[in-house]
Structure 1
Amino acid sequence: MASVSRLLLLLLCSYYHALIASAGGEQSYKILAASSQKPQVVCSQPRVSPPSSSGGATVPLNHRQGPCAPVPSQEKPTLAEMLRRDQHRADYVQRKFSNKHRASGFQSSEVTVPTNLGSALDTLEYVITVGIGSPAVTQTVLIDTGSDVSWVHCDGSSPFDPTKSTTYAPFSCGAAACAQLGAEGNGCSNSQCQYVVMYGDGSNTTGTYGSDTLALTGSEKVSGFQFGCSQAEAGFGDKTDGLMGLGGDTESLVSQTAATYGKAFTYCLPPTSGSAGFLTLGAPSSTSGFATTGMLRSEQVPTFYGALLQGINVGGKPVDVSPSVFSAASVVDSGTIITRLPPTAYSALSSAFKDGMKQYPTAPSTSILDTCFDFDGQDNVTIPSVALVFDGGAVVDLDANGIILGSCLAFTATDDDGTTGIIGNVQQRTLEVLYDVGQSVLGFRPNAC
Structure 2
Amino acid sequence: MASAPKLLLLLLFWRYHSCVAHAGDDRSYKVLSLDSLKHDAACPERKAVPLPGAATVPLHHRHGPCSPAPTKKMPDLEEMLQRDRLRAAYIQRKFSAANGGAGDVQQSEATVSTRLGTALSTLEYVITVGIGSPAVTQTMLIDTGSDVSWVQCKPCSQCPSQADPLFDPSSSSTYSPFSCSSATCAQLEQEGSGCSRSQCQYIVTYGDGSSTTGTYSSDTLALGSNTVRNFQFGCSQVESGFNDQTDGLMGLGGGAQSLVSQTAGTFGRAFSYCLPPTSSSSGFLTLGAGTSGFVKTPMLRSSKVPTFYGVRLRAIRVGGRQLSIPTSVFSSGTIMDSGTVITRLPRTAYSALSSAFKAGMRQYPPAPPSGILDTCFDFSGQSSVTIPTVALVFSGGAVVNLDANGIILNNCLAFAGNSDDGSLGIIGNVQQRTFEVLYDVGGGAVGFRAGAC
Using the size of structure 2 for normalisation, the TM-score is 0.89
Match of 1:96 among 94, 98, 114: 94
**CA offsets, 1:91-119, max 9 Å, x none?**
1100111145475x623213x52322101
**CA offsets, 1:241-289, max 9 Å, x none?**
00000000000000000111112100000000000000000131x42x2
Unaligned runs of 5+ in 2: 1-24, 157-164
Q: Which amino acid aligns with 1:241?
A: D
Q: How does 1:285-300 map to 2 (within 5 A)?
A: 286-287=291-292, 289-300=293-304
Q: Which residue of 2 aligns with 1:133?
A: 132
**CA offsets, 1:4-36, max 9 Å, x none?**
xxxxxxxxxxxxxxxxxxxxx982111111122
Does structure 2 conserve the Cα–Cα contact (< 8 Å) formed by 1:43 and 1:68?
Answer: yes
Counterparts in 2 of 1:102 and 1:300: CA distance versus 1, 3 Å: closer
Count of equivalent residues: 418
Using the size of structure 1 for normalisation, the TM-score is 0.90
- 1:268 equivalent in alignment to 2:268: no
Q: Which amino acid aligns with 1:174?
A: S
Does structure 1 conserve the Cα–Cα contact (< 8 Å) formed by 2:129 and 2:223?
Answer: yes
Q: Which amino acid aligns with 1:417?
A: D
Q: How does 1:111-190 map to 2 (within 5 A)?
A: 112-156=111-155, 158-190=165-197
Mapped to 2, the partners of 1:283 and 1:306 lie a distance apart of 19
- 1:235 equivalent in alignment to 2:278: no
Equivalent position SS for 2:341: coil
Q: Which residue of 2 aligns with 1:33?
A: 33
Q: Which residue of 1 aligns with 2:15?
A: none
Equivalent position SS for 1:427: helix
Q: Which amino acid aligns with 1:380?
A: S
Does structure 2 conserve the Cα–Cα contact (< 8 Å) formed by 1:213 and 1:224?
Answer: yes
Does structure 2 conserve the Cα–Cα contact (< 8 Å) formed by 1:213 and 1:222?
Answer: yes
Identity, % of aligned positions: 66
**CA offsets, 1:350-402, max 9 Å, x none?**
01100110111100000000000011121111111111000010000100000
Q: How does 1:1-80 map to 2 (within 5 A)?
A: 27-45=27-45, 50=49, 54-80=52-78
Equivalent position SS for 1:107: coil
Match of 1:424 among 408, 411, 428: 428
C-alpha deviation, 1:132, in angstroms: 0.2
Q: How does 1:431-442 map to 2 (within 5 A)?
A: 431-442=435-446
Q: Which residue of 1 aligns with 2:20?
A: none
- 1:374 equivalent in alignment to 2:373: no
Q: How does 1:225-374 map to 2 (within 5 A)?
A: 225-284=231-290, 286-287=291-292, 289-374=293-378
Match of 2:82 among 81, 84, 88: 84
C-alpha deviation, 1:339, in angstroms: 0.3
Does structure 2 conserve the Cα–Cα contact (< 8 Å) formed by 1:40 and 1:272?
Answer: no
C-alpha deviation, 1:37, in angstroms: 2.2
Q: Which residue of 2 aligns with 1:19?
A: none
C-alpha deviation, 1:54, in angstroms: 4.5
Does structure 2 conserve the Cα–Cα contact (< 8 Å) formed by 1:100 and 1:328?
Answer: no
**CA offsets, 1:141-193, max 9 Å, x none?**
00000000000001447431010000000011111111100001010011111
Does structure 1 conserve the Cα–Cα contact (< 8 Å) formed by 2:108 and 2:305?
Answer: no
Mapped to 2, the partners of 1:54 and 1:305 lie a distance apart of 26
Q: Which amino acid aligns with 1:236?
A: F
Counterparts in 2 of 1:307 and 1:54: CA distance versus 1, 3 Å: farther
Counterparts in 2 of 1:239 and 1:102: CA distance versus 1, 3 Å: closer
Mapped to 2, the partners of 1:212 and 1:27 lie a distance apart of 50
Does structure 2 conserve the Cα–Cα contact (< 8 Å) formed by 1:66 and 1:72?
Answer: no
- 1:215 equivalent in alignment to 2:213: no
Unaligned runs of 5+ in 1: 1-24
Counterparts in 2 of 1:136 and 1:26: CA distance versus 1, 3 Å: closer
Does structure 2 conserve the Cα–Cα contact (< 8 Å) formed by 1:267 and 1:433?
Answer: yes
* C-alpha RMSD over aligned residues: 1.6
Q: Which amino acid aligns with 1:211?
A: S
